[in-house]
Every structure is written in structure tokens, then in C-alpha cells.
């Protein structure tokens, strides 16, 4: 019998505010089957001060953890791994240098995702852990830095909210004196209810058939209740208040060591997590919660499966924006074809990969969305829309890169803007600028571009004989482009084949 081809493996890394998680899975019948898990408590949020600075100690813990994760992922292709960072890195000020260290340690790119994308991925993980029925669900995920509330049906999230209340933040704010008492609980629960006040009516009006809790805090609460002989079929507000009284009896995180169901690394965050959950139960009038063993990292795995099988939710986000802003799809395709030709010439010399190819493709699709607002400075309008629109599947950093490409597609190539970008981003911007210039005539005829060559910062374009005489507008545009690109370090040469 001939040996079977080894199953494809994928991996998800979740850089949470409290713990870092990694799960590696084999693809079996296009479904991820976990084969390895790693979890380490890093307490990144505990090292974040009010000015958004992360302490050197917390940074070092994070880097050392990802070095260990990185060894496990060393042989994985970049398309097989997705790493996401959540609330703490969202709140960090000027995290670029730290993020670069983390990526070097892991050996893979890390996406800092916004709250709505975090909520979407959490729901995707939970939905794939439950029966595929039509019941409406409320999913609550309590993390170290934020809590997500999602209402959805089957695999489709209908409403997403990410609120800035998490175990570590509430531990510092309400339980910082090392005491677990009624007064601390009362203040924390009131704060949670206050955070939910703007959203509680919207969520309650949607209704749900089942409430699902995900992630470690909710699971730890269930384990504690089961240890006390409760929560045989989910748990209620009465159960949560019972557990609150038990924690208050013990009085401090150090005295929770008698609760064998509670790991040592959760003793200082279980009380604030419980307070958040009680506040949510009271605000949303939740009757009972069941627990899912899947969460953000499992959602990332399922999202990766979609990307590998060309069902990337990011493509759907781009299509939605194109439709919303009435993009000329024919022109977008013409720009794409030209950019594809240029990209193939630039791929090796500029070391551009799959991610860069996707970005250029998306930028071509969206480069004219700003026309919906105004022709004047439409590149700036396009950039603003790409950066600030809700785009499921996109990380904040990817939307920021898209915004740079769209802003840089035309007009003056401003050195102060370009110098802040990586080499790859500048290269992509050059390709988009040239594709837009060459497609300005919106002609349906094939482009008379015979060849393109890249040598360092030199870009050579060779056209068919007689092209310059037949295309005076495009020739003038490219001559302007020679000057613009020279200001940001590129040398553009145009010529005709003999």
C-alpha cells in the first residue's frame, strides 16, 4: 500500500492579556483536529501602565514565551500560522518595536486585531463547537483586558461588542489591596453594569435561546461550582452569588489554595472575572450559562481553514466595500491585471510573498472607493474608508497598511510618509502607483507593456515600439512619476523595445 501524504497542519497563536495560547491542528476532512496545545500565563496586561507602556519584565516574559512557541512552529509555512494579539497590544502606545521583537521570537507575523474582529473569531470558535442548529446564542468571553458579547445564529454573528473590562484590569482596579470582600465585589459588579448600560437594551431586545461562556475564566467558574456540587447543567445567577460568598469567606487570593479545581495562575483573577460575569447576568437578565471549550484560538483555526480553501472572509469584506461605494469593477480588474504583471517582476528581487500579493490585490480593488465621496483627493478618502470601516477578518495593522497604499497611490510621494513604512510596504506602493497610472485610460485593450524588470531600487518598464507616440497622456504621467519616485528613493526608467 502506498504511503499517504502527510496531513496538512495549521496553528493558531493567541496573545491574550493574561495568557498566551497556541494550538496546532491537523486538517482531517478539511476540519482542524488539535494535536498539540501550549499555554503560558504571561500577564501582559499587568505590565501595562496608564500611559500605555508595557514594563520590561512583562515584555521579557512575552518574548521568552514566544521563543518557546516559535520552536514548535519553526517548520510551518507562514500561510499555515496565524497569530493574533488582543486588548493589551491594542492599548499599548507605540508598540511597533515590541511587536517586532515578538514576531522575531515567534518566527511569524502577528496581527493586532480590534475588538470586533476578536469577537467575530470567538464566535466562530464557539459556533464550530456546538450543534449546527438555528437557535440564537449569546456568547460571552471574559479575557484579561476585555470582555466580548456576541449574539449570533449558527455560524453567523449578528451583533458584536467588545468592552474594556477584563480580569486583570478589574483585579488592579477593585481587588488591588489583595482582599476579596463584599465591598470590592459590589464596586466591580457596578462597574460592569455601567459598561454594559449603553448596550444592554440592544442585546436584550435581540433575545437568545442559549447563553454560552467561553475562555478560561468562565470555564474556571464552572469547575469551581461543580466542585461545590452545583452547575450540573450550566449555572445560574444564584450559583454565581453562591460562589461569590465562598470566595469572600476565604478573603484573599492566597487563601484560595484550598480550592483544588482552581489553578494557581487564576487565583488573583477569578474574583474580578466572577464580578464581571455577575454584572453581565444582572444587566442582560441571563437565566443560565453553558460553557464551550472553544474560544478565540479555535476561531482562528477555523478562519485559517477558510483562507487555505479560498473562502477568506477578508475577500468578502473587500467585496462588500466595493459594493457599498459603487466601485467600477471593470477598472479595478484592469488595475489588478497590470499590478499582477508588475508584481511577478518584483516578487523575487523585492522578496514579496503571499501576504504582500493579497494586499496589492485588495488595494487594487479598493483604490477608487474614495470617489464615492469626491474626486478631489479621492486617494485620501479611500485611505480613510479602508482604515476606519468595519472589515471582518482584517487586523488593525493590515487595515493601516491598506490605508497607506491607497493614500500613496497618486499625487505627491511624501518622504515623511514613506519613510515611516517598511521596505515591503514602500515596494507595494510603487507597484500600485504604476498600475494606477498605466490604467488611467480605462481602455479595454491589452496593455502595450512588453516587460518589467526590478534591480534594487531601479524599475525598468519596456513598451511596444511606437507606444509613447500613441499614449501621450500616459507617457506624461510616467514622466511625472519618475520625479515623484525619485523623491522616495526609486529610479523609474521607461523605454520602447527596439
Residue pair 206/158 in contact by the 8 Å Cβ criterion: yes
User: pLDDT tens digits for 172-227?
Assistant: 999 987 899 999 999 999 999 999 999 999 999 999 999 999 988 999 999 999 99
- Residue 4 phi, psi dihedral angles, 5° rounding: -75, 150
- Judge whether residue 133 has pLDDT over 70: no
Mean per-residue pLDDT for 222-243? Answer: 93
Q: How confident is the model at residue 453 (pLDDT cuts 50, 70, 90)?
A: very high
Tell me the C-alpha distance between 124 and 302, whole Å.
7
* All residues at 6 or more sequence positions from 227 whose CB lies less than 8 Å from its CB, including other chains: 259, 260, 261
Rg of the Cα atoms in the chain:
26
Q: How confident is the model at residue 2 (pLDDT cuts 50, 70, 90)?
A: very low
Q: Show the cell assigned to 461.
A: 518598464
H or E stretch at 160: strand 156-163
Tell me the C-alpha distance between 107 and 67, whole Å.
8
Tell me the C-alpha distance between 236 and 234, whole Å.
7
Tallying the residues shown for the chain, one arrives at 498
pLDDT at residue number 252: 92
pLDDT at residue number 1: 34
Of 278, 276, 256, nearest in space to 266 by CA: 256
**Residue that has been written with the C-alpha cell 514613506 in this structure:** 418
User: Among residues of the chain, what percentage have pLDDT more than 90?
Assistant: 71
Mean per-residue pLDDT for 230-255? Answer: 93
Tell me the C-alpha distance between 104 and 307, whole Å.
24
- Judge whether residue 443 has pLDDT over 90: no
- Judge whether residue 137 has pLDDT over 60: yes
Burial class for 336, CB neighbours closer than 10 Å (0-12, 13-18, 19+): buried
Q: How confident is the model at residue 170 (pLDDT cuts 50, 70, 90)?
A: very high
Tell me the C-alpha distance between 165 and 143, whole Å.
8
User: How many CB atoms are located within 10 Å of the residue 320 CB?
Assistant: 14
Of 324, 307, 335, 436, nearest in space to 389 by CA: 324
Counts for the chain of helices (H) and strands (E), in that order:
19, 13
pLDDT at residue number 131: 66
For the chain, the average pLDDT equals 91
Tell me the C-alpha distance between 307 and 299, whole Å.
12
pLDDT at residue number 134: 58
Of 67, 17, 24, nearest in space to 298 by CA: 24
User: pLDDT tens digits for 107-126?
Assistant: 999 999 988 899 999 999 99
Mean per-residue pLDDT for 455-476? Answer: 92
pLDDT at residue number 132: 62
Residue pair 93/53 in contact by the 8 Å Cβ criterion: yes
Tell me the C-alpha distance between 217 and 220, whole Å.
5
pLDDT at residue number 3: 41
Domains, the chain, in order of start with CATH, read: 9-114+300-304 (3.30.420.40), 130-292 (3.30.420.150), 312-446 (1.10.3210.10)
Tell me the C-alpha distance between 387 and 407, whole Å.
11
pLDDT at residue number 348: 95
Residue pair 283/298 in contact by the 8 Å Cβ criterion: no
User: pLDDT tens digits for 41-90?
Assistant: 998 988 998 899 999 999 999 999 999 999 999 989 888 999 999 989 99
User: pLDDT tens digits for 297-355?
Assistant: 999 999 988 887 767 788 889 999 999 999 999 999 999 999 999 999 999 999 998 88
3-state secondary structure 269-283: CHHHHHHHHHHHHHH
pLDDT at residue number 4: 40
- Judge whether residue 5 has pLDDT over 50: no
DSSP three-state, residue 22:
strand
Amino acid at each position: 500500500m502506498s504511503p499517504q501524504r502527510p496531513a496538512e497542519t495549521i496553528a493558531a497563536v493567541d496573545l491574550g492579556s493574561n495568557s498566551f495560547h497556541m494550538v496546532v491542528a491537523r486538517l482531517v476532512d478539511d476540519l482542524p483536529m488539535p494535536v498539540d496545545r501550549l499555554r503560558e500565563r504571561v500577564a501582559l496586561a499587568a505590565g501595562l501602565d496608564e500611559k500605555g507602556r508595557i514594563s520590561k519584565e512583562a515584555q521579557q516574559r512575552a518574548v521568552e514565551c514566544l521563543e518557546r512557541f516559535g520552536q514548535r512552529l519553526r517548520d510551518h509555512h507562514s500561510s499555515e500560522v496565524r497569530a493574533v494579539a488582543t486588548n493589551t497590544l491594542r492599548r499599548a502606545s507605540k508598540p511597533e518595536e515590541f511587536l517586532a521583537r515578538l514576531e522575531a521570537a515567534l518566527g511569524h507575523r502577528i496581527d493586532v486585531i480590534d475588538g470586533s474582529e476578536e469577537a467575530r473569531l470567538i464566535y466562530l470558535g464557539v459556533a464550530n463547537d456546538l450543534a449546527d442548529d438555528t437557535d440564537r446564542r449569546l456568547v460571552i468571553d471574559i479575557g484579561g483586558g476585555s470582555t466580548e458579547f456576541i449574539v449570533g445564529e449558527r455560524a453567523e454573528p449578528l451583533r458584536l461588542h467588545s468592552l474594556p473590562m477584563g480580569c486583570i484590569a478589574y483585579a488592579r482596579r477593585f481587588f488591588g489591596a489583595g482582599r476579596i470582600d463584599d465591598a470590592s465585589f459590589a464596586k466591580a459588579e457596578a462597574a460592569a453594569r455601567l459598561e454594559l448600560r449603553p448596550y444592554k437594551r440592544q442585546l436584550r431586545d435581540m433575545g437568545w435561546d442559549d447563553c454560552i461562556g467561553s475562555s478560561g475564566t468562565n470555564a474556571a467558574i464552572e469547575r469551581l461550582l461543580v466542585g461545590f456540587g452545583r452547575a450540573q447543567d450550566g449555572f445560574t445567577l444564584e450559583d454565581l452569588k453562591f460562589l461569590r460568598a465562598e470566595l469572600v469567606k476565604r478573603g484573599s487570593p492566597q487563601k484560595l489554595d484550598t480550592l483544588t479545581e482552581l489553578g494557581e495562575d487564576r487565583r488573583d483573577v477569578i474574583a474580578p472575572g466572577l464580578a464581571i460575569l455577575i454584572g453581565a447576568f444582572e444587566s442582560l437578565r441571563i437565566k443560565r450559562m453553558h460553557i464551550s471549550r472553544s474560544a478565540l484560538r479555535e476561531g482562528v483555526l477555523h478562519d485559517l481553514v477558510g483562507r487555505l480553501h479560498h473562502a477568506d472572509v477578508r475577500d468578502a469584506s473587500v467585496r462588500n466595500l466595493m459594493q457599498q461605494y459603487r466601485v467600477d469593477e471593470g477598472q479595478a480588474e484592469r488595475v489588478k491585471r497590470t499590478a499582477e504583471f508588475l508584481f511577478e517582476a518584483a516578487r523575487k528581487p523585492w522578496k514579496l510573498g503571499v501576504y504582500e500579493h493579497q494586499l496589492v490585490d485588495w488595494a487594487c480593488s479598493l483604490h477608487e472607493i474614495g470617489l464615492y465621496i469626491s474626486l478631489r483627493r479621492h486617494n485620501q478618502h479611500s485611505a480613510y474608508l479602508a482604515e476606519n470601516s468595519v472589515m471582518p477578518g482584517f487586523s488593525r495593522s493590515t487595515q493601516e497598511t491598506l490605508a497607506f497604499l491607497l493614500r500613496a497611490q497618486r499625487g505627491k510621494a511624501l518622504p515623511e510618509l514613506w519613510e515611516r513604512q517598511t521596505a515591503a510596504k514602500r515596494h507595494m506602493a510603487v507597484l500600485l502607483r504604476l498600475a494606477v497610472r498605466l490604467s488611467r485610460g480605462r481602455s479595454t485593450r491589452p496593455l502595450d507593456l512588453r516587460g518589467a524588470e526590478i534591480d534594487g531600487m531601479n524599475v525598468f518598464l519596456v513598451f511596444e515600439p511606437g507606444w509613447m507616440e500613441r499614449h501621450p497622456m500616459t507617457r506624461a504621467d510616467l514622466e511625472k512619476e519618475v520625479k515623484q519616485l525619485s523623491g522616495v528613493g526609486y529610479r523609474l526608467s521607461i523605454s520602447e523595445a527596439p
